[in-house]
Amino acid sequence: MLLLNRQGNRRQKAAGIGVLLLLLLVVAGKGLAVQLAVMPVEDLSKGDNGLNPSMTGRLCEALIQKGYAVVEEKRIIDFMAKYRIRWVGRLDTNHVLLLRKELGIDYLLLGSVNQVREKEPAALGVALEIVRANDAKMIWAGSAQLCRADVRKFLGLAEPRNISEIEDIVVKRIMEILPQKLPESAEFSPENLTEEIRLTPEVVKPGAMMHCRIRFSENNMRPTDVSVSVVIGEKIVEAVYSSQEQCYEAAWTATGRDGRYPVSVSINRGKLGRKNIFAGSFQVDGQPPEIALSLRGQELDGEVVLRRQLTVIPVLKEPEPLATWEVGILDASGQVVKAESGHGNLPERFSWWGQRQDGIMAEDGLYTVRVSVSDRAGNDASASEKFRVLRKRPELNIVTEKKEGALQIDLGYDGKVPLAFWRVELRNGAGAILLETSGEKLPARLLVPLSKEGDKVSCRVYGQDVLGNKLRQVIDNLLALKSGGDKTEDQASGKDAEGNGWAVDF
Amino acid sequence: MCRALCVVISFWGMFALTGCGAKKPYVQEFSVRGSADRQNIAVLPFVNRSGFPQGSKILYRLFLVELVQQCHWHVALEGDVFKIYRQMHLKPWDVPDVEQLRVIAVRLGVDTLIVGEVLEMDEKVTQSGVSPTLSFQVRVYDGKSGLLQWSSLYRREGGDYQKMMHFGMVNTVSQLGKKMVQEILKVWREKGLLVCADS
């Protein structure tokens, strides 16, 4: 009995050890498995920065089945939130190295769903990249595409029916081409030391300050290990480390003739050697741009006139990129009545319809258009041209006089803009035409016989000046006009027969 | 009768098998070829002139994949490329000038830069099937000098790959893009322009 008990205990002990060993193997196996971070898969079909959680999940499952230890999704999202990574589908070297440091990963999977077509025939395209975390090198990449039309089987048997089934096949194909063992490498030796080199500004005036900022990745450089200088031709400027900004900064005065100057950054890492990096170039520009204006509008006596629209064409004699521009219309007293400004190059042309900034039409008079520009170095230039606004309607002077049973009408014109033509209609009280005449030149004299006492003679004058300003005068009764051309009460009070004093055109 | 039928069938078979096989990417060489030890490359964001949504990104990713898969080159990470673009105030659809190309190459530590433009990308879904069309231009620049070395222009349609009935038919732009990129890389290798790490 005692012997049987001892044997049973031994068996239990052996079984316990076996279970323990199995557990150890599982734990050790998990610990030895390659740590892989699957970044959220980008979905190009959902626009910029679209996300495909379904594909991300499927890839994670497939990789776990393949024996990889996949990092929890929550940890990756936390990492992205911590480092403010607001895009999917790509990651820079610095973030890859940080990911390795913080999550202890060996590899990183970046993926994108390139194409999703839901409607028949449904299709899906996926591209994947594997980045080795210790040196941030892309070591493998693959893509798989599938369209339902690619899989034609007898009687449609075992054909994928929807996008979900296509996803399964695509993931399966990806797993088939994914190598069983991913290539390893030694620890990261930084080839590219710099995280950022910023040379500002691009164009400067002679004597202005230039700045160069050099920032190293926090993973590969300590400020005590390195000295940095900026080389501009034969000039060498030592860069100073700013602990606040955590970068090296060099500043120098841009001197010399106008032209382009290359800049390189020299990084001295003591025993590890010196490296020169081309940082770009800057341009010294002390020459202000030369600008000329060409006005397009109607012309009168060699002067550009605005009646409807004025077009201003600015021309740079030597075209160059501009930083800002400003156009202004100034009245005779120098007050700005309309202004516009913008960044970058000048528009090809400006058009002004004669409206002031407040929307009211500008009055007739002499105006100036001025265009001011500033180039990228800050050199200013401006040009201006004068023009005249002439939109006043022409008006005839009408003088009447009764003479031996007839009415003598004298038409005169003393406006600045010559008339192109005029036409007069005279009607009696019944509306019958007494006289209709037209001409191009003034003054002119008309004679109308008066039929009966007390009848009235209405007059309508039409015409246009050479600029196109229309003339329209209506006088109900010429006989009521005071002799010598004095105006009737209506006319004296400024009431126009048209009743619309503002109407420039009709 | 039987003999005539055999001749017709054999002619049809020849046509079906050869298809448009003669079509090859057009390659224009501009400057001296790079040295054989070049193995670092950066693909800069492609420009999309096709109007196809995300057309440039689709082709960009396919190019990255094929460069790594076929040539085992060290391809700069897309994230690094975009970071430099951001720092240089370049928009992804901007084509960098010579100096900017040199700066990008130095900063990424690469000796070759690829710039691409998607000229046409379309997928017509009809009752008879899908007809994808893709046309793009790829330019390869020397990182040190920023000079154009060679460029390729290529246009194909899904039906160009049809062998017989529906066999060989390409039904998606991504699949068509992959095939076209593979063909371009093959031609570059044949011409000795691209020396792959394993070849």
Rounded distance between C-alpha atoms, residue A123 and residue A144, angstroms: 11
Q: Are residues A155 and A269 in the same domain?
A: no
Entry pTM: 0.70
pLDDT score recorded for residue B164: 62
Model confidence at A223, pLDDT cuts 50, 70, 90, reads low
**Cβ-defined contact of A45 to B80 (cutoff 8 Å):** no
Residues present in chain A in total: 506
- Inside any domain, residue A147: yes
A229 Cβ contact list (under 8 Å, min separation 6): A236, A237, A238, A239, A250, A265, A266, A268
Give the residue on A whose Cα is nearest the Cα of B83.
A92
Residues A75 and A172 in one domain: yes
Average pLDDT over residues A207-218: 86
Instruction: Verify that A262 and A344 share a domain, yes or no.
Output: no
Residues A169 and A59 in one domain: yes
Torsion of CA B172, B173, B175, B179, to 10 degrees: 140
pLDDT at B37 over 90: no
Q: Is A222 a domain residue? A: yes
| C-beta atoms of B109 and A192 within 8 A | yes
Cα dihedral sign for A61, A142, A150, B121?
A: positive
Instruction: Examine the fold and report which residue of A338, A366, A389 is the final residue of a domain before the chain moves on.
Output: A389
Q: Is residue A415 in some structural domain?
A: yes
Query: In degrees rounded to 5, what are phi and psi of residue B36?
Result: -70, -20
What's residue B38's pLDDT?
Answer: 56
pLDDT tens-digit readout, A155-193: 566 677 778 888 889 999 999 988 888 887 766 555 556
Topology of domain B21-190 in CATH is Rossmann fold (3.40.50)
> Given the structure tokens 């192109």, which residue do they identify?
A420
Cα A421 to Cα A280, A445, B84, B101: the distances in Å are 67, 15, 69, 66
Q: Are residues A49 and A163 in the same domain?
A: yes
Could you tell me if residue A417 is inside a domain?
A: yes
Report CB contact under 8 Å: B174, A96: no
A387 has which bridge partners?
A367
Query: Does the distance separating the beta carbons of B79 and A141 come in below 8 Å?
Result: no
Residue B15 pLDDT grade (very low, low, confident, very high; cuts 50, 70, 90): very low
Q: What is the pLDDT of residue A490?
A: 45
Give the C-alpha separation, A189 to B86, whole Å: 25
Pairing of strands A303-306, A380-389: parallel
- Taking residues B32-54, what's their average pLDDT? 81
> What are the two backbone dihedrals, phi and then psi, of residue A366, each rounded to the nearest 5 degrees?
-90, 130
In a domain, A505, yes or no: no
Tell me if B53 and A45 make a contact (CB, 8 A cut-off): yes
Q: What are phi and psi of A8, to 5 degrees?
A: -60, -45
- Contact list, A139 vs chain B (CB under 8 Å): 68
| Same domain membership, residue A171 and residue A58 | yes
> Which residues in chain A (60-119) have CB-CB distances under 8 A to chain B?
89-93, 95-96, 110, 112, 114-115, 117, 119
End-of-domain residue from the set A389, A415, A439: A389
Q: Is the pLDDT of residue A491 over 50?
A: no
Give how far Cα A13 sits from Cα of A6, A7, A17, A27, A45, Å: 11, 10, 6, 21, 59
Residue A21's pLDDT is what?
54
| Residue A247: predicted pLDDT | 87
- List chain B residues with CB under 8 Å of A43: none
Last residue of a domain, one of A284, A303, A337: A284
A340-370 tens-digit pLDDT: 999 999 999 999 999 998 899 999 999 999 9
> Nearest 5°: CA angle at A399, between A394 and A404?
150
Residue A503 lies inside a defined structural domain of this protein: no
A198 and A272, same domain (yes or no)? yes
Per-residue confidence (pLDDT) for residue B49, from 0 to 100? 93
Residue A45 and residue A169 share a domain: yes
A368/B contact by beta carbon, under 8 A: no
Residue B16 has pLDDT above 50, yes or no: no
Q: How many angstroms separate the CA of residue A92 from the nearest CA in chain B?
A: 4
The first and second tokens of residue A109, run together, are 């999977």
A147 and A214: one domain? Answer: no
- Only one residue has tokens 């010294």, namely A284
Per-residue tokens: A495 = 């009431």
Q: What is the pLDDT of residue A301?
A: 84
Judgement on whether residues A379 and A414 belong to the same structural domain of the protein: no
CA-CA distance, A398 to B14, in Å (whole number)? Answer: 97
Q: Is residue A159 included in any domain, yes or no?
A: yes
CA distance B2 to A490: 109
Secondary structure of A133-161 as H, E, C letters: CCCCEEEEEEEEEEEHHHCCCHHHCCCCC
d(CA A319, CA A292) in angstroms, rounded, equals: 12
Nearest to A123 among B53, B87, B171 (CB): B171
pLDDT, residue A498, reads 42
Distance (Å, whole) CA A118 – CA B129: 14
Instruction: Identify the pLDDT of residue B199.
Output: 42
Does residue A94 lie within any of the structural domains?
yes
pLDDT digits (tens, 9 = 90+) for A121-149: 888 999 999 999 988 889 999 999 888 88
**SS3 category, A492:** helix
Q: Is the model more confident about A272 or about A86?
A: A86
Helix (H, G, I), strand (E, B) or coil at A47: coil
The three-state DSSP-derived secondary structure of A175-200 is HHHCCCCCCCCCCCCCCCCEEEEEEE
- The shortest C-alpha distance from B174 to chain A (Å) reads 6
Residues A272 and A311 grouped into a single domain: no
Mark which residues 185-244 of A lie under 8 Å from B by CB.
Answer: 191-192, 194, 196-198
Task: Provide the CATH number for the domain around residue A332.
Answer: 2.60.40.4070
Mutation target vs B (from A99, A114, A163; most B CBs, 10 A cutoff): A114
Chain B contact for A266 (CB, 8 A cutoff): no
What is the CA angle A128-A131-A137, rounded to 5?
Answer: 130
> Looking at the predicted structure, is the pLDDT value of residue A119 above 50?
yes
Output the average pLDDT for chain A.
83
> In which band, very low, low, confident or very high, does the pLDDT at A20 lie, cut at 50, 70 and 90?
low
In the predicted model, is pLDDT for residue A503 greater than 60? Answer: no
Number of domains in chain A: 5
Chain A hits for B67, Cβ within 8 Å = 141
**Would the pLDDT of A111 be above 90?**
yes
| Structure confidence by residue, pLDDT tens digits, A454-473 | 678 889 999 998 888 898 88
pLDDT digits (tens, 9 = 90+) for B92-108: 888 899 989 999 998 88
With contact defined as beta carbons under 8 Å apart, do B120 and B47 qualify?
no
**What is the domain range of residue A451?**
397-492
- A89-103, A218-232, A408-422, B179-193: least confidently modelled range: A218-232
Q: Please indicate, yes or no, whether residues A102 and A170 belong to a single structural domain of this protein.
A: yes
